[in-house]
Amino acid sequence: MQAHSAEHQAFETFETFESVMGLDMVTDPAEQPVELAAAAATHFRGQYANCMAMYADAQTVADYLDIHSEWFHRCAHPMKTDALGDNGYALTIGRFGSFGYEVEPKIGLHLLPQDEGVYRIETIPVPDYEAPGYHVDFRAALQLVEAASETGAPLTQVEWELDLDVAIYFPRFIRALPKSLIQGTGDRLLNQIVRQVSRRLTHKVQMDFHQTRDIPFPKAS
């Protein structure tokens, strides 16, 4: 699900606010978690859209997507996934350090059953988990569109759109920086993360679908 190949580590290699801004940051010992939670959140929002080519008719692709319990764990790796009921997953993004402590961001995703050919994914709470200093609102929609291929083989484009809102509660020393610097840096990092993750997921879902269904996948020319 590539945004508008070689495997690589997930999020550990992404730049942090510290490295981008050239700051050597440490946690302010005077700022307690309750103070952090009381601060106003900074929102980073993005809207994304792209498509994924699957060389089969729409019904075959739908049958594959409908049984996400068989492929979601494989395709999300190396991110950790835990099932939440029949249609939900707790997705652990990866461990990284920021502001002097390590966190493992986790998000609950609900893969709703298709409704007239449209698949929706929304955030849901993760039981017994409270996100430390951030909140994610993830809303995606996928639609299957049959198209003509150059070879004449069946082709279905999985067209997707994503609305993403990430709210972060920064410590005081971050909030003291120019708002335009914080906003611009955060927007760029959000776009980088979505682009890299969507590229990896696109590749893995395509390969998994074609291999498990024994369907040839054309090599890029």
Residue ranges and CATH numbers for the domains of the chain are: 41-212 (3.30.530.20)
d(CA 110, CA 33): 29
- Segment 156-165, tens digit of pLDDT: 999 999 999 9
- Segment 34-90, tens digit of pLDDT: 455 557 889 999 999 999 999 999 999 999 999 999 999 999 998 899 999 999 999
63-67, 92-96, 123-127, 137-141: segment of lowest average pLDDT: 92-96
Describe the strand order of the beta sheet including 88-92 as a list of residue ranges.
42-54, 155-168, 134-147, 118-124, 106-111, 88-92, 80-84
> pLDDT confidence of 220, banded at 50, 70, 90?
low
1-5, 101-105, 134-138: segment of lowest average pLDDT: 1-5
Which pair of structure tokens corresponds to residue 141?
Answer: 């929609």
**Quick check: helix, strand or coil at residue 82?**
strand
d(CA 71, CA 74): 5
